[in-house]
Structure 1
C-alpha cells in the first residue's frame, strides 16, 4: 500500500496536465513503516518534480533528471526519509505500466505512480511495483484523498 497526502496527489495531477501531451515525471519522497525497504506500506511525504530529460519522443518516454535524483539523495542522506518511488504520466493511455515501463523496471523497491491524462485532463492515477527480476509489475493499493478526474489547472 502507498499512502499519499491529497495535496501531493493534486500536485502530481497538476504536473501531468501541464506537461500534456508529453509525459511528466518526478520522484516520491517518504518512508516505509519498517526498516524493510520492500515493505508494502509506504508513506509519501512529498513529490519532487523533474524535467523530463528523455531524448526520445517525450510523448511516450520519460527520464528523471539524474541531477535531481542525486541532489535528493544528498539532501536525504541517512535520515528517515528516502526516495520511495517516482511518478510519470501517460498521455492518452491508461494508468498501467507500458512495455517501455517494463523495460525500465530495474529497482524493485521503488513504487511507480502512473497518471493517465486524456485530452489534457487527469482521468486516473494508479500505483505499481516491479516484480523481483523486473519486466513485470504488480498493482499496489493507492490510498489517497484524490478527488478524481477534474481540472487541476491553476
Structure 2
C-alpha cells in the first residue's frame, strides 16, 4: 500500500495536465516500512529529459535526483519511487516502463491523462517473484 496526501495527488495530476500530450515525471519522497507500506511526504518535480518522443517515455533529470539525494542525506526520508503520466493511455505500466524498471524497490505512480484531464493515479511495484508489475493500493488523505 502507498499513502499519499490529497494535496500531492493534486500536484501530480496538475503536472500531468500541464505536460499533456507529453509525459510528466518526478520523484516520490517519503518512507518505506518492512511490510512494503510506502508513505509519500513530498514530491520533487523534474523536467522530462528522455531521449526521443516524450509522448510515450520519460526520464527524471539526474541532477534533480542527485539534488534530492544530497538534501535527504541519511535521514529517515528517502526517494521511494517516481511518478509519470500516460497521455491518452491507461494508468498501468507499459512495456517500456517494465524495460526501465532498474530499481525494483521503487514505487511507480502512473496517472492516465485522457483528452487533457488527469485521472486518479495508480501505484505499482515490481513483484520480485515474477519480475512483473503488480498494482498496490493507493490511499490518499
| 1:3 aligned partner | 3
Q: How does 1:115-154 map to 2 (within 5 A)?
A: 115-132=111-128, 136-145=132-141
When residues 27 and 134 of structure 1 are mapped into structure 2, their CA distance, relative to the original with a 3 A threshold, is: farther
| 1:44 aligned partner | 40
Contact 2:50 2:58 in 1 (8 A): yes
Secondary structure in structure 2 of the residue aligned to 1:55: coil
Matched, 1:96 2:97: no
Contact 1:131 1:137 in 2 (8 A): yes
| 1:13 aligned partner | 13
Secondary structure in structure 2 of the residue aligned to 1:124: coil
Moved more, 127-136 or 55-64: 127-136
Post-superposition CA distance 1:44-74 (Å, at most 9, x none): 0011100000111000010000000011111
Post-superposition CA distance 1:66-108 (Å, at most 9, x none): 0000111111000000000000000000000000001001111
Per-residue deviation, 1:124: 3.2
Normalised TM-score (structure 1):
0.88
Contact 1:102 1:134 in 2 (8 A): no
Normalised TM-score (structure 2):
0.95
Secondary structure in structure 1 of the residue aligned to 2:121: strand
Matched, 1:79 2:81: no
Of 106, 111, 114, the residue aligned with 2:107 is: 111
Gaps of 5+ in 2: none
Secondary structure in structure 2 of the residue aligned to 1:108: coil
Q: Alignment length, in residue pairs?
A: 141
Counterpart CA distance in 2 for 1:139 and 1:133 is 14
Contact 2:13 2:119 in 1 (8 A): no
Of 52, 66, 70, the residue aligned with 2:62 is: 66
Q: CA RMSD in A?
A: 1.3
When residues 40 and 23 of structure 1 are mapped into structure 2, their CA distance, relative to the original with a 3 A threshold, is: same
